[in-house]
Structure 1
Amino acid sequence: MNLAEAIIQKNIEKHPLKSAIGFKKKKEGWKELSWKKFSEIIFKTANALKEAGIKENDKVSIYSDNSSEWMIFDLAAMSLGAVTVPIYSTNNAEQAEYIIKDSGAKIILVGDQAQYDACLEIVKKNKCSLETIIVSKKAVWIKKEFSSFYLEDFIAKSAAEAEFCPKENDDVATLIYTSGTTGTPKGVMLTHGNFIKAFDAHFKFFKFKNFEEELSLAFLPLSHVFERSWSLLCLYGGARVYFLEDPKNIANTLEEVKPTMMCAVPRFFQKIYAGVLEKAEEGSSLKKKIFGWAVKTGWETAELKRNEKHISLSLQIKQNIAEALVFSKIKNRMGGRLWFLPCGGASLSPEVTRFFESVGIHVTVGYGLTETTATLTLFPFTHFEHGTSGKPLPGVEIRIGDQDEIQARGNGIMKGYYNNPEDTQKVFTEDGWFKTGDAGKIDEKGNLIITDRLKDLMKTSNGKYIAPQQIENLLTNNNFIQQIVMIAEGRQFASALIVPNFEFLKEYLAKNNIPFTNWEEVVKNKEVNDFYKNKIKELQEHLSDFEKVKKFTLMPAEFEINTGEITPTLKVKRNVVLKKYAEIIDQMY
């Protein structure tokens, strides 16, 4: 079945007047579209694309920040049987050009002036497949030298009814280009069946109650498989989805929208966790005692719930008091209604998941890749194990292969890499299992435990293996550390490049009467370095000696997407960073 049809048809038949999506335009409040209006705009867009020459299996690209138009364009293209090709809004012209040329995209939707100008540059520089640029915002200045239209004008005269192009499970719905932490991006072919079967598996796994009443906030990039799959799943299940264009506005938006669900990456949880602990530490001795008691009470309650055991009346009363005094304040900062948060993209420390469970927010840690339609394993609601990545979804099989590599097969596994049979062959075993490139193990209860990226495993000159992700996670759980890259491969000890959390470091400077000049000077300050040295020593106490970061360099600025140091999903491109800062690294040895 066509994925767009599976999402739209049942919802307009079941509740045409119920809200489907929410969005906010500059200087305006939040607005909603009903399923009837949402589907009409999708059909108008599909018909306009058809009139512009888009046929079944043609490629249609989206190069934009999150928006309602992003989702409308995506579903419109898929309803025609065309293939959607997302491009991260933060990608530069060169990165966008590679994806456009490799995919052969004919029409592209852009969001801002920067993306429009990048597309014009691509068209001028090279003959490429692009025939038309569609612009979602009227604020963007369109130039007449190339076929360009505002989306509103593009769809204005098109009919608000359409037929769905019939699709088989194996037909390609989208090409999602990997962010390329270790090389040239590859176009992952995900099918209509990949998505629909994965969605059905999630609903079978969780057995949600009243899912149609949920509200999800899309703040991770829709260009990434995680947010896109989750937002499509929410719409598939009849829930509302609100689109946040600028993720920097997340704090205010949570309080405005008050979502009940939202997918997020580990850094989101780490920052909230570290911020709450920091604030508690600054409180009076009485407030510290109340906070400690509340977390302990919450943890006792959460453990009984996790194991489906009876909660006594006395513990329930204590839990209600803890909720009133402490937990409600934490929840209100997140809008007050969040209860279910899928987390992916990297591992999350068990102390963080335990904390959120104590507060009454279920962080569903999962594991998957673009090539697996996001999810392979997940925490269930009960009987999950902190520190693991949960259990396989229905229809997914996991095994551990050579070098402890996690291998998978099942509903969500990609069809292959577009125009790349050689790399496709490399990632599948002879008996058809997908090789993830991650190392792990399965515990006695069937939970998957991720060890690390096989390519990231480091071997010191003393022959000791270090899994950097776990240690990097441990250190970034602290509020004073924003980003970290460990170095150990072929070295006699582990070192690190550390980006401070400048917001908290600035407060520390003020409290300790350390003059602020500029960050280049501050990160060289002896008192600041001694502070970080003690902080890191304290955080690493329980690690083996060979795993501990022995030396570090504080960096004066964050690793950035536009400099190629991190991916749009905030994963560090280790090879890029190691090469760029080789001189600084060598000085530590």
Structure 2
Amino acid sequence: MSNVTSFLQKNVNLYPTKPALGFKKDHEWKELGWYQLKRLVFKTANALKASGVKENDKVSIYADNSAEWIIFDLAIMAIGAVTVPVYSTNGEDQVEYIIKDSGAEIIFAGNQEQYNVCQNLLNKGLPLKQIIVSKKYIKLKENSSYLETFIESASEDLEIVERGEDDLATLIYTSGTTGVPKGVMITHSNFLKAFDAHMEFFKFKRFEDEHSLAFLPLTHVFERSWTLLCLHFGAKVSFLENPKLIASALTEVKPTMMCSVPRFYQKIYAGLNEMVNSGSDLKKKIFNWAIENGSLFSEKKRLNQSMPFGLNIKNKIANALVFGKVKKKLGGKLWFMPCGGASISAEVTQFFDAMGIHITVGYGMTETTATITAFPFTKYKYGTAGKLLGDSQIKIGENDEILVKGSGLMKGYYNKPEETAKVFDNDGWMKTGDAGFMDDEGNLVITDRIKDLMKTSNGKYIAPQPIENMFSNNSYINQIMLVAEDKPYVTAVIVPNFESMTEKIKSLGVTFTNWVDVVKNEKVLSFYHQLIDDIQKDLPGFEKIKKFVLMPADFEIQSGEITPTLKIKRNIVIQKYKSIIDAMYHHE
């Protein structure tokens, strides 16, 4: 059967006693078995049918991660309808646009804020007719019902709808760093072929015993396709509703697998370095010794070479003294960590490898149903995005643009034939908008987003991402955006790491009043001047930051300054802080 939800019946038979989902309720982690999951999905599916949802109709989900999110998603797809997820951080305008464009008549809303947005949209002449909520604390108004009531009298029996090669499973609106959101059409076949390609590439053993923690938004293709893959092959998935609680969730859930973005690892890397640097000389010595031995150990492992007895012993000691403590903070069982959504520096991946925490770097996009390339378990190469997965193909086009083909390619952009035509060439290759090359060993190397490449007024080209990564690997810098397009030199908009700085300003003799004042303080500015000069000492002159401004608050997803995978939306930040940026060039 070619419906992405067909695993439900199969897994009830294969794993009758295994848990399928994990979720937190009343401050406690609970489980749902395969039979209960199938029952809830089928009841929800029948309730949707009773509400008039037919094959190919669009149904929307506007909520944070939860067990209900995935149940609703599976129910929609099981009856041949199309799931339209909306980022829980999206504001009313974006939700309105997606409802209008997709034609969704029913929406599942998460919390009070999301429910209020949906209520406001009911009277705007949109297709939207009905709101379903799962949280009982929400006071219902017109055209609304609780999920529990909605499915109460629905049957538990369902014939999952057969789907053809071209039938849509979902429309994912790309948040993108530019422009109007576009609905990416992903088919059942896209998902199913992606699942098999991953299995063949990684050759997992006893996958049904794995436990994944869904921490990135399910609206994003990366977390959604990974979660569906896990369920497809019988692994348990636990859902984290509030991503800010990731630290405690890791130790409570103790997952074996988790998708993440580079920022997650950069923060741990910066934090560990900061902790070691402010520790005693003995602590530094032990840590550096452990990393040195860990690097030798992980290098042997990477190259699939036999391990010398002495190195094995040293690595066990390093684990006991240093690495074990870090692993414990990640729950103690985490071993498979696919990482995508932005670029990550070789320095960070090597550091984690040395600790025995392997990050599986990959490259993909919504339009390719996530992964195109990934690190294999051995013989991967740092600084690359790994090797081709499944039947994916890559060729390098004009301006070194990466062009892709393969069974993961989207059907196109919904209601946007011109936009679709723009991204495909005459031979069916899709333009990714990323620049890069394939090395001699078949690894993809990404240089930058083509539209992010900057040309200074002196004619020099600058690729911002690798430089920004150098800085954001530091524990005093949370976010950084370079500015250089048509400018005589490079400047930077920097968001400090306020946590590290709270301690630092004490040693600088600065009294905390508020961040607006602190980031303008001479001693603080002088500290950052020195820090920037140290980090960029090996960069060529034209790539060096000449001036910078410190921001008093983080860039936020809600304000549209960063995407849900924490990439800075350059155009928006440049527009929003134009006067601040212009001021860095005025005095020349």
TM-score interval, normalised by the smaller of the two chains: over 0.9
Find the counterpart in structure 1 of residue 117 from structure 2.
118
Where 2:447 maps in the other structure, the secondary structure is strand
**Partners of 1:75 and 1:5 in 2: CA distance:** 6
Is 1:452–2:443 an aligned residue pair? no
Matching residue of 1:236: 232
Task: Report the equivalent of 1:62.
Answer: 61
Q: Residues 64 and 112 of structure 1 are in contact (CA less than 8 Å); yes or no, is this contact kept in structure 2?
A: yes
* Cα distance in structure 2, aligned partners of 1:194 and 1:563: 32
**Structure 1 residue 374, shift from structure 2 partner:** 0.8
Residues of 2 paired with 1:9 and 1:458: CA distance? 52
1:525-562 deviation digits (Å, cap 9, x = unpaired): 11101111111111112211111111100001111122
How far apart, in 2, do the equivalents of 1:231 and 1:5 lie?
12
Bigger mean CA offset, 537-546 vs 300-309: 537-546
CA contact (8 A) 1:3 1:195 kept: no
The yes-or-no answer on 1:137 pairing with 2:143 is: no
The residue correspondences of 1:85-484 to structure 2 (distance < 5 A) are: 85-124=84-123, 126-143=124-141, 146-484=142-480
Kept after mapping to 1: 8 A contact 2:132/2:144: yes
**SS at structure 2 position matched to 1:455:** helix
Partner Cα distance (2:313, 2:38) in 1: 47
SS of residue paired to 2:30? strand
Q: What CA RMSD, in Å, does the superposition of the two structures yield over aligned residues?
A: 0.9
Q: State the secondary structure of the residue aligned to 1:483.
A: strand
Deviation at 1:513, TM superposition (A): 2.5
CA drift of 1:5 comes to 3.1
Aligned residue in 2 for 1:28: 27
- Counterparts of 1:327 and 1:180, CA distance in 2: 37
Structure 1 residues not aligned, in runs of 5+: none
CA positional deviation for 1:181: 1.7
Quote how far apart the aligned CAs of 1:258 are. 0.6
The question of whether the paired residues in 1 share the 8 Å contact of 2:3 and 2:78 is answered with yes
- The 8 Å contact of residues 65 and 245 in structure 1, kept in 2 or not, is answered as yes
Q: Report how far residue 236 of structure 1 moved.
A: 1.1
For structure 2, list consecutive stretches of 5 or more residues without a partner in the other structure.
Answer: none
Question: 2:370 aligns to what SS in structure 1?
Answer: coil
Which secondary structure does the structure 2 equivalent of 1:272 belong to?
helix
Q: Which amino acid aligns with 1:23?
A: F
Cα separation, 2, equivalents of 1:446 and 1:419: 36
SS in 1 for 2:71: helix
In the alignment, is residue 8 of structure 1 matched against residue 34 of structure 2?
no
Letter of the 1:163 partner, please give it: E
* Secondary structure of 1:223 counterpart: coil
Q: Deviations over 1:501-532 (max 9, x none)?
A: 10111110123321001111100011101111
- Residue identity in the other structure for 1:401: G
1:305-345, CA deviations, whole angstroms, 9 ceiling, x for partnerless residues?
A: 11010101111011111111111001011111111100001
Instruction: String of CA shifts for 1:229-271, please: whole Å, max 9, x gaps.
Output: 1111111111110000000100011010011110000000000
Paired residue secondary structure (1:551)? strand
Among 494, 501, 509, which residue is 2:497 paired with? 501
When structure 1 is superposed on structure 2, of 277-286 and 497-506 the one drifting more is 277-286
Tell me how far apart the structure 2 counterparts of residues 281 and 164 of structure 1 sit (CA, whole Å).
Answer: 58
Name whichever of 279-288 and 447-456 sits farther off: 279-288
Task: Give the equivalent residue in structure 2 for 1:46.
Answer: 45
Encode CA deviations 1:252-293: one digit per residue, 9 max, x unaligned: 110100111100000000000111111111221111111111
Q: Distance in 2 between matches of 1:111 and 1:499?
A: 30
Deviations, residues 454-490 of structure 1 (Å, cap 9, x unaligned): 1110000111100111111110000110111110000
For residues 20-48 of structure 1, the C-alpha deviation after alignment (integer angstroms, 9 at most, x for no partner) is 000002x3310000001111000000010
Counterpart residue type for residue 103 of structure 1: S
Structure 1 CA distance for aligned equivalents of residues 508 and 415 of structure 2: 58
Letter aligned with residue 133 of structure 1: I
Contact between 1:2 and 1:79, CA under 8 Å: does it hold in 2?
Answer: no
Please list the CA deviations of residues 77-126 of structure 1 after superposition, one character each: whole Å capped at 9, or x if unmatched.
000000000000111111100000100001100011111110111112x2
In structure 2, distance between residues paired with 1:542 and 1:56: 59
Aligned counterpart, 1:530: 526
* 8 Å Cα contact 2:3-2:162 kept in structure 1: no
Retained in 1: the 8 A contact 2:508–2:523?
Answer: no
Is contact 1:461-1:489 (8 Å) kept?
Answer: yes
Structure 1 counterpart of 2:114, one-letter code: Q
How far apart are the structure 2 equivalents of 1:43 and 1:434? 37
CA distance in 2, matches of 1:483, 1:248: 17
Q: Describe the superposition over 1:192-246 as per-residue Cα deviations: whole angstroms up to 9, x where unpaired.
A: 0100001100000000111111111001100111111111111111111000000
Q: Distance in 2 between matches of 1:229 and 1:543?
A: 39
CA contact (8 A) 2:122 2:129 kept: no
Could you tell me how far 1:13 is from its partner in structure 2? 1.7
Take 2:23 and 2:330, find their aligned partners in 1: how far apart are those partners?
Answer: 18
Separation of aligned partners in 1, 2:527 and 2:484: 23
Separation of aligned partners in 2, 1:273 and 1:9: 43
Amino acid at match of 1:132: Q
Q: CA deviation at 1:570?
A: 1.4
Q: Does 1:553 align with 2:549?
A: yes
SS at match of 1:23: strand
> Which of 544, 550, 554 is 2:540 aligned to?
544
The separation in 1 between residues aligned to 2:389 and 2:367, in whole angstroms, is 15
Give me the whole-angstrom Cα distance separating, in 2, the residues matched to 1:455 and 1:158. Answer: 50
CA contact (8 A) 1:58 1:82 kept: yes
The answer on whether the counterparts of 1:2 and 1:78 sit within 8 Å (CA) in structure 2 is: no
Q: What amino acid is aligned across from residue 20 of structure 1 in structure 2?
A: A
Q: Which amino acid aligns with 1:101?
A: K
Contact 1:302/1:358 (8 A) holds in 2: yes
Asked if the contact 2:21/2:32 (under 8 Å) is kept, the reply is yes
Specify the SS of the correspondent of 1:368.
Answer: strand
TM (norm. structure 2) is 0.98
Contact map agreement 1:2 1:81 (CA 8 A) in 2: no
Q: Secondary structure at the match of 1:537?
A: helix
Match of 2:344, SS state, is coil
Q: Give, in whole Å, the separation in 1 of the partners of 2:572 and 2:281.
A: 46
> How far did residue 170 of structure 1 move?
1.6
Distance in 2 between residues matched to 1:163 and 1:74, nearest whole Å: 16
**What secondary structure, in the 3-state scheme, does the structure 2 residue paired with 1:348 have?**
coil
CA distance in 2 between partners of 1:149 and 1:588 (Å): 54
